[in-house]
């Protein structure tokens, strides 16, 4: 009689361990997704800032011969690229390829801002960008860096969780794939 209870106890312990380990992996993935949602909010603010700075379409076309269309076109194109990358990454925030695309789009927008600020400083007609833009953009970049760090830490915890033995067996069985962090802009 005692020997027939031991396999049932072992099966119950294994089952409860499996449920607990699976719940832990789901929780770690959810934390990474929540950290991405906060990061997405911060990056979306940068896209909104570009749209807030853009002059009406008529003014952009009127300044076409003075280089204004290239000035605004670079910012507008970079913000559109970041917006598209955010939409793609939103569907699967732990997909390494989507996060790599988002990182590239973030770098393109940063370069467009740098170029816009540099070109705006040498415009003899006066600045095209609002005076308070630099401090507002700096604040947005700083908060995005903090959100990026939180996301990267959550992804690291998730990756560590799916690589630990014996949880790696459940991760393989249920298709948990490693995620990728995002490089923080300096």
| pLDDT values of the chain reduced to their tens digit, one per residue, 186 residues | 567 888 999 889 888 988 888 999 999 999 999 999 999 999 999 999 988 887 766 555 544 444 556 667 888 999 999 999 999 999 999 999 999 999 999 999 999 888 877 765 555 555 556 667 778 888 999 999 999 999 999 999 999 999 998 888 888 999 899 999 998 665
78 within 8 A of 112, measured Cβ to Cβ: yes
| Residue 172: predicted pLDDT | 92
49 within 8 A of 137, measured Cβ to Cβ: yes
Determine if residue 56 is left, alpha or beta; phi over 0 gives left, psi from -120 to 50 gives alpha, anything else beta: beta
Distance CA 122, CA 97 (A): 38
| Residue 65: predicted pLDDT | 42
For 132, counting Cβ atoms within 10 Å of its Cβ (0-12 exposed, 13-18 middle, 19+ buried), the class is exposed
SS3 at position 166: coil
Task: Give the pTM.
Answer: 0.81
| Residue 115: predicted pLDDT | 82
Domain ranges in the chain are 2-174
């Amino acid at each position: 009689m005692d020997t027939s209870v031991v396999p049932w106890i072992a099966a119950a312990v294994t089952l409860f361990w499996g449920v607990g380990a699976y719940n832990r992996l789901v929780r770690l993935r959810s934390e990474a997704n929540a950290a991405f949602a906060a990061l997405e909010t911060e990056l979306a603010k940068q896209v909104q800032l570009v749209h807030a700075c853009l002059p009406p379409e008529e003014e952009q076309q009127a300044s076409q011969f003075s280089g204004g269309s290239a000035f605004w076109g670079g910012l507008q194109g970079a913000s559109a690229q970041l917006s598209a990358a955010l939409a793609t990454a939103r569907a699967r925030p732990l997909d390494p390829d989507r996060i790599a695309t988002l990182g590239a789009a973030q770098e393109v927008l940063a370069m467009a801002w740098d170029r816009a600020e540099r070109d705006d400083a040498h415009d003899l007609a006066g600045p095209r960008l609002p005076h308070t833009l630099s401090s507002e953009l700096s604040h947005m970049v700083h908060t995005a860096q903090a959100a990026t760090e939180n996301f990267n830490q959550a992804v690291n915890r998730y990756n560590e969780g799916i690589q630990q033995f014996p949880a790696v067996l459940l991760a393989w069985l249920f298709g948990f794939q490693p995620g990728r962090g995002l490089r923080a802009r300096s």
